[in-house]
Structure 1
Amino acid sequence: MALVGVAKRRFQQLRSNGWEDFLEKVKSFCIEYSIDVPTMDSKYEPHGRSHRFYPVQTIDDHYRREVFIGIIDRIHQELENRFDEVSRELLICMSALNPSNSFVSFDAKKILKLATFYPKDFPSSALRTLEIQLGTYIEDVRMDDRFEGLNNLGELSNKLVDTKKHEFYGLVYLVLKLALILPVATASVERVFSALYLVKNKLRNSMSDRLLNDCLVTFIERDIFSTVSEDDIVHAFMAMRKRKAKALN
């Protein structure tokens, strides 16, 4: 999360003061490979587009504002969307469960804060019990040689089950399961939205919700559907109702 903050600040510095250096690098590249460099103060002439859709501007203005700054703003906005305040807080709290280096990242306060994001699973009484369990849990796993060398939450979860400690520290194990599920659930949602932009394009803008849902399922799970033979699809289609179907060549 610290590196995400650094990246955002770097993008802001690049946006404010990076154009001149970037332009010099582009010019050097063009000169090296014998590419014509236009006069940056001349009028920008759009290619293949009507001039009435473009404001009167210089080449420098076009590439500085619409290309250079425009791309930086899009990347910065994408970082903001993926790592907003809530997401950053969740990831920072999740890191407190990390078992690597003998649980050096353990922080009971952060884990309790992570639990507060799930009030249905952790009412106030459960939070008090979780706080007590965390103190005993960390002493127990640090002294247990079987928990040495763990590197991620998945290995920690498996080891807790193998040693039956998930029964003693039920609430700690529940927090751990929620931390493991969260990235998968978030990635699945992101995956669906990414597929939505590809499936529901301008040509398919008027499709029904049912057809859209079917197209999304087959597109997202295409690895599974690629294993289904055409004959099975035809047989399933014909079994839905009596219909005539031409034999496949």
Structure 2
Amino acid sequence: MTLLSKQTVKSQSDYRTRLNASIECAYFLLHQGLPFRCHDECECSSNQKNYLELLHFLSRNNEAIKRVTFNETPRHNKLTSPDIQKDITQAAIEEITNERFKMMRENDWESLLEKVSSFCIKHDIDILIMDDEYKLLDLMVLGDQLDTYIIDLCGDDEFSGIEVIKLLLLLPVATATVERVFSAMHIVKSRLRNRMGDKWMNDSLVVYIKKDIFDKIDNEAIMKQFQNMKTRIKQL
């Protein structure tokens, strides 16, 4: 093995160790609904807030992490920026979504399809056939297509009760879900996070509310999603 190859293997190993440590920090904070950052995160600050302080704690108690974090790594590749934190969270959400679809297929997918089919038959609506080849991306697009479909129907007098139909479809899950969301929001959007954006708040809430699924996802899966996201961005 050449010197360059050895350096490449070592840099890749260091990167994985650093990314895994960053995921561990994000996992703990997301699981507890805690803020990540503060206004003063310079190296001279006595309190760099939760994310960086937690990473400092890990580095002090783990020699392998200490060797690849903070001053021991290139400035452009520390994996501690706000964008990296949000990307890690997004990768976790994608894994939660995948796990949720898997659980639906294994447990209550057939029951859900039966209810949807019954509704479609009753109202003379074409039934969409969703086989195993139906892609997750296609399922995500369905939400936008449904919104467009509803807008079109609202302009038709024959379907003036479409809002009532929407309410009937949403009501069984809305009451319990909304209560959980508002309860979680009081924890996630605290006084220290009163300026957080909608996207970041939504992502934080999803992970906090679905922590039962989040707990089942290992760091390796989040790493793969994170790398896939970075690859997609480079290809754009």
Same fold (TM over 0.5): no
**Could you tell me the TM-score, scaled by structure 2's length?**
0.26
Larger radius of gyration: 1
Structure with the bigger percentage of helix: 2
- Give the number of the structure with larger relative contact order, counting CA–CA contacts within 8 Å between residues 6 or more apart: 2
